[in-house]
Chain A
Amino acid sequence: MANQAGINKISSIRNWYVTYQLLADVLFAAAISLALMALLVYILHISILWILPVFMLSLMAMLFVHKWWKTSELSIANFLNQQYPELEESSALVLKNEAQLNLLETLQLQKVQARLQEVPQWHNSFLKRIKLALALLLFASVLVWLSGRLVSLNVVKAERSLSIEKNVISEKILPQISAVDIVINPPLYTGKPQRNQDRFTLNIEDGATVTWKISTNIPVKKVTLLFNDKENIDLKYINTDKTQWQIARTINKPGFYQVSVDGKLSDLYQLQIVPDQPPVIRIKSPKQYTYIDAGEAQRVNIDAAINDDYGVSDALIFATVAKGSGEAVKFKEYKLDFGASFNSHQPQYNLQKLVSLPALNMEPGDELYFYIQATDTHQQQSRTDVYTVSIQDTAQLLSMDGMLSGVNQKPEFFRSERQIILDTEKLLKDRDSITTAKFNDRSNDLGIDQKLLRLRYGKFLGEESESDINPADVKDDPVGDIKNYGNAAVILDKYTDKHDNAEDAQFFDPELKKQLKATLTEMWKAELQLRLYKPQDALPFEYKALRLLKDLQQKSRMYVAKTSYNPPALKLEKRLSGDLSKINQPVSKSDIKPGTDQYENLKKAIQVLAQLKVTFQITGTDEHVLALANQQLSLKASAQPGVYLSALSAMRRILSKQGDVKLNDISLVEKAIQKTIAPAARTPVATESSADMGLSAEYYKNLNRLNR
């Protein structure tokens, strides 16, 4: 009996185990089928209902692989033995036939059976697979969600592209016309092939030749195309039955047209023109103003991108070199090509050109102006702004011309940078004739000079240096003097900063300070190169520093040209008499009539349309007003058929008086009118007084009296 309880226990544990594993399988199958379906729906766009067979299939596969129902009670017993040591590896005894047990086993069984009852029904490890399956399911759900978003995006896209198709206005064709074939020959510049269409609505390139071939189902006398309500073009029949008609025409203007068969007019058809855009040029380098300092390579790399809607046929650089200055300036023009072939008429070109300035006979001080001009296949040209490249004129920089006149007082350090440059150049010239050690020495000396100069300028900015210009050289240091022993004033004088000294105070504006700082930076760089024994590399920085210093000098100057003026002789007897009697008073009289409102007809039409919404009947005068508005709308439509054509046809439908006026047509016309008419400008207006027998006027007068 006790044995039976043990068997029950184990079989119930087995049931739990099997249930959990089956559940895990179901979850696994669900996760797998979800993930699979997400993939399939995304790639193959199959119906979501396929998920059921897929799920069943995967579940079956899982079950038959694992075959949980075959889990024997013995294996459960073994599992229990592993998990619970108190069972002493003997739980399998329970399953054995009692009769077959030996004595020891019987004893052991009795011992274990009680413990077996205390073993809990289920074990945490049963859940392991379920947990894994849940995680997988979660992952699959995320996958489904993501793919769902992608699919929905695709659907939206697909719908959009479809809706464009739907937007094409359905055309009403005259009943006599059985077929229409329109051959569009795009102009040469587009490089597009000929195309055919069977719709009257045209969307063509500027200058395209359109051939209409209209077949009628019965012989007709005359077929005409009416362009923009003005121009009539008769089609010619090409067969004796007079059922095939044809005409070709080159179209340059947008608008609308109608087909007339034996005097019967068709709907309005849109005639839209895609104009050719001039080429677009973008210069990536150089910058609009480029300054080549001395020592820099005298060349410019012109990098430009040219775009056109159909094709670029040519691109050139137009360069002008300006030599000399003042009145002696001379110009010379060059046409440079990019060296690329434009024969293929690509719509986009990326072009580079390295212009060597000396090749254009440019010298220091000269300037190069250039622009790029591009021509497209339609012979439309466009050009860029003018770009400037100038080479620094070192001779000008070193000349004393600017300084000879004007301010005489020149602090000595303004000359020093120039001196350093001259010395550097001399050093470079001497390089071949002196030893390397000497060269290096002199370069280092120049570096020291440069440092001193920098420190001097640094003072202007209130910079302080730890090392004084030459502390070792200071012979008569007052602090070192024995006579000054204990004199605090002397020590203070030496070691304190005297910021509030009026003599040292700086009166530079921030702009000037910025430039000074830039100068110092250049000096720093020059010094670095000099100390590295590279005077060649130091030169550009020195020049730059000098140029900045010169600019600083020029900043405080101003030039006022001398003028000459000979006043007429004064009549002394009239002077200061105050007699104005002979001076006439100017009087002017003019009449300015405000311009007539060009939208008057449309505004009147609004009233008529509002009335139509209630009555749906057009009277004679209304028709006249609407006809005038129709003319104005037709003008608008010939300029912008895409926007106004639907309103124009709606207006025609209203005017045709075939059946009742449709509200939809009215609102179409109203919308177009609202778009057309300009907003009313505000003007001052007078309010009306109330017809109150002077009561309010009396009130205000009395109010005034009381206020006093």
Chain B
Amino acid sequence: MNWNPIVIVICILLAVFAVWKEVVRLNKSRLLPRIVASIIAVAALACIVIPLSYQIDVNKQDKNEALLLTDGFSKDSLIQYKTEKLFTLDGKIKKDIPKAIQIFDLGDLRSDSTITQVRILGNGLNKTELQQFGGLPLAFHPIPVKQGITAISWNKQLKTGEDLNIQGIYQNTLAKKIKLVLNGLSTGLDSTIIEAGKTAPFNLNTVPKNSGRNIYSLLVLAGGDTLEKESIPVQIEHAKPLKVLMLTSSPDFESRFLKNWLSENGYAVVVRSAISKDKFNKEFINIEQFPLDHLSAAVFNKFDVLIGDLSVLKTLNSAEAAALQQDVNQKGLGVIVRADSALKSDYWMQRNFSSDRLAVKDPAPVSLILQGKMALSAKLNAGIVYINNQNNIQSLVSDKQGHILAASTLAGAGKLVFTPLNSTFSWVLGGNKTDYAGLWSLLISKVTRKLPTSENWTVKSAIPTLSNPVELLLESATIPSDIQIEGGTIGPKQNAFIPFEWLVKYWPTSAGWQSVKQANGMLKWFYVYNNADWRSIRALKKQADTKAYVIQHAINSNVTKQIQEKATITVRKIYFYVLLLMACAFLWLEARFR
């Protein structure tokens, strides 16, 4: 028999009576609280008699589901799942939760026919581990990463003098500021602040002073505490001198200073400047002398870069011009064209670069923005000609107004750089070698002929760590033989579609720099991190991999589908007892204090 309606009716009557009693009381003070208190008291009474309940969604566990605990799971979440099949790969977790069974091969789960689905708690598994499931459906609900570096990138291979650029995103959920410090040689080199409760990108910069293999470190500081210390391995190589040919229409300061600067650094420079009709002043620095009156394919082939005045290049005779074009298009010679007064022409080197003049006759010196550099350069009289922005060109140097002052374009296998700048030597005169070196390094590096290589090593694993397989990619034109990593020989696997790609898988046994070398190749190095390094990034990577696997192997059979069910949960009566007591206490006390 359902008492509920009766109880409700009685209670309503009781409530009406109580309210009426309060209203008619002589002392009218605190009428509203009294009425509310009496209603609450009656309602609480009603709730004690009638059991109050609500419904929630709960996962009804599939009996055939196994739980796999991975790094980063929360113990409390275990309560939700009442399965007997608890597994883990981690010895530490086994220690924490003795109920869990430690397995060493995920294949065991697959081979157990009673398990139709595996639920993964924690940050998930990496790709290699996921492969062992062999298509077994997974359920995965990761806990999002709250605090830490969530993205990071830096240039791992540098040449001397180049910037080390570290960029990333830091997620700060703490209530205090986070300071990121780039440390090298025990010295703080750059730092930035992440405000409390912000997720912000950061950018740290330095020009390494030393060379070779170096480990910088990224410190995450909160007040006086070091939250994280991550290694940033960087390899810095010496730049190999190039061979530069300069053709100028007359001996001028620009080419003279450029020649001096390049030759000081050990670069081979040949300058041919016209001094009269068919008469040239020829200089050979750091290179053997050879006849240079007539330019030919053989001459061009000797050099990596050609720096020429546009007027000289335009007036080459047909044989020379053809040889030049051939060398640029087929062999990849780079050309830096120093523009003359002609704004446009159909000459093949100028076709992509149409220029314009500034409206002012005598523009003030401007600071230049170099590609890949954060800081502005010192001021320079850049002249009145600038290059129009158009398709097929890439701006290398520009001023603050966006006038392009040097740009590059592709020309077959080679590249062209076009620039109207012709007084950069004033920087050297002013003692500013840094900007001068920065500008010309950028221009020359951009166009120079690529060095032929026979092998190319890349580390495919994002963050290689101890006891996890590291994938190395070898690009080699020939079949590699005898690949040695830290003294052990390893066999490569050829890519089925791209014949020059070879995959090498290696399980590192120690952290730090590891050498790799193939039979007649160069010794190369890669870095293996400790298991404690880059925790947050690796957790994110694992989550992403596991999620990808889950999507790829979506559950399609009904049997294994999770059953969502409504569960009725009764509210505990103690709450109403307390409520009733409080309301009555108020009414009683109120009567005392008038």
Contact = CB atoms under 8 A, between A and B. Distances in A.
Interface string B437-463: 110110111001111111110000000
A503 interface: no
A673 B282 contact: no
Contact of A688 (B208, B286, B443, B456): B456
B239 A585 contact: no
Interface string B258-284: 000011111100000001111111111
A644 to B, nearest CB: 14
A606 B210 contact: yes
A593 B282 contact: no
Contact of A691 (B160, B162, B449, B455): B455
Contact of B187 (A666, A670, A691, A693): A670
A681 B208 CA distance: 10
Name the residue in B213, B289, B450 with the highest tally of chain A Cβ atoms < 10 Å from its Cβ.
Answer: B450
A187 B296 CA distance: 75
B212 A603 contact: yes
A78 to B, nearest CB: 34
Nearest to B212: A607
A668 B187 CA distance: 10
Contact of A592 (B286, B410, B450): B286
Contacts of B330: 701
A19 to B, nearest CB: 21
A588 interface: yes
B210 A682 contact: no
Nearest to B266: A594
B240 A686 contact: yes
A692 interface: yes
Name the residue in B160, B240, B278, B433 with the highest tally of chain A Cβ atoms < 10 Å from its Cβ.
Answer: B160
B208 A686 contact: no
Interface string B411-424: 11100000000000
Contacts of A585: 275, 279-282, 293
B443 to A, nearest CB: 8
A667 interface: yes
Contacts of A560: none
B187 A701 contact: no
Contacts of B455: 691
A400 interface: no
A707 B393 CA distance: 13
Nearest to A609: B185
B499 interface: yes
Contacts of A578: 277
B285 A590 contact: yes
Contact of A700 (B412, B444, B476): B412
B338 to A, nearest CB: 16
Given A671-B185, A681-B437, A684-B440, A691 B240 contact: no
Name the residue in B392, B443, B444 with the highest tally of chain A Cβ atoms < 10 Å from its Cβ.
Answer: B444
A617 B27 CA distance: 92
A386 interface: no
A502 interface: no
B184 interface: yes
B592 interface: no
B445 A588 contact: no
Contacts of B160: 680-681, 683
A703 interface: yes
A603 B210 contact: yes
B122 interface: no
A690 interface: yes
B451 A687 contact: yes
Given A594-B266, A674-B187, A691 B207 contact: no
B460 to A, nearest CB: 15
A297 B80 CA distance: 104
A686 B332 CA distance: 12
A263 interface: no
Name the residue in A578, A583, A668, A689 with the highest tally of chain B Cβ atoms < 10 Å from its Cβ.
Answer: A689
Interface in A579-625: 580, 583, 585-594, 603, 606-607, 610, 614
A99 interface: no
A302 B530 CA distance: 74
A598 to B, nearest CB: 13
Contact of B162 (A583, A603, A682, A693): A682
B64 interface: no
A594 B285 contact: no
Contacts of A691: 453-456, 475-477, 500
Contact of B242 (A679, A684, A688, A703): A684
A580 B186 contact: no
Contacts of B266: 592-594
B304 interface: yes
Interface string A505-535: 0000000000000000000000000000000
Contacts of B208: 680
Contacts of A686: 240, 242, 304, 445, 448-451
Nearest to B457: A691
A678 interface: yes
A704 B412 contact: yes
A687 B444 CA distance: 11
A677 interface: yes
Contacts of B278: 580
Contacts of B263: 590, 592
A614 B512 contact: yes
Contacts of A588: 282-284
A482 interface: no
A685 interface: yes
A591 B286 CA distance: 4
A586 B282 contact: yes
B444 A684 contact: yes
A105 to B, nearest CB: 36
Interface string B489-505: 00000000001100000
B209 A678 contact: yes
A56 interface: no
B413 A684 contact: no
A589 B159 CA distance: 29
Nearest to A700: B413
B456 A682 contact: no
Given A585-B281, A693-B499, A704-B410, A580 B456 contact: no
Contacts of B443: 684
B445 A693 contact: no
Name the residue in A606, A677, A685, A695 with the highest tally of chain B Cβ atoms < 10 Å from its Cβ.
Answer: A685
A594 B264 CA distance: 6
B450 A689 contact: yes
A587 B284 contact: yes
B426 interface: no
B418 to A, nearest CB: 16
Interface string B153-185: 000000111100000000000000000000011
Contacts of B289: 587, 589
A677 B279 contact: no
A578 B209 CA distance: 56
Interface string A649-688: 0000000000000000011101101110111111111111
Name the residue in B159, B185, B443, B450 with the highest tally of chain A Cβ atoms < 10 Å from its Cβ.
Answer: B185
A680 B412 contact: no
B214 interface: yes
B61 interface: no
Contacts of B467: none
A671 B476 contact: no
Nearest to A606: B210
B413 A701 contact: yes
Listed from nearest, the 8 A-B pairs whose CB atoms lie closest are A684-B444, A682-B161, A667-B186, A689-B450, A594-B266, A674-B185, A704-B412, A670-B185
22 contacts: A580-B278, A585-B281, A587-B281, A589-B284, A589-B289, A592-B263, A593-B266, A594-B265, A594-B266, A606-B185, A670-B186, A674-B209, A680-B207, A684-B239, A684-B445, A684-B448, A685-B441, A686-B240, A692-B477, A692-B500, A693-B477, A701-B412
Given A687-B445, A690-B456, A701-B330, 5 more contacts: A586-B282, A682-B161, A683-B267, A685-B242, A691-B453
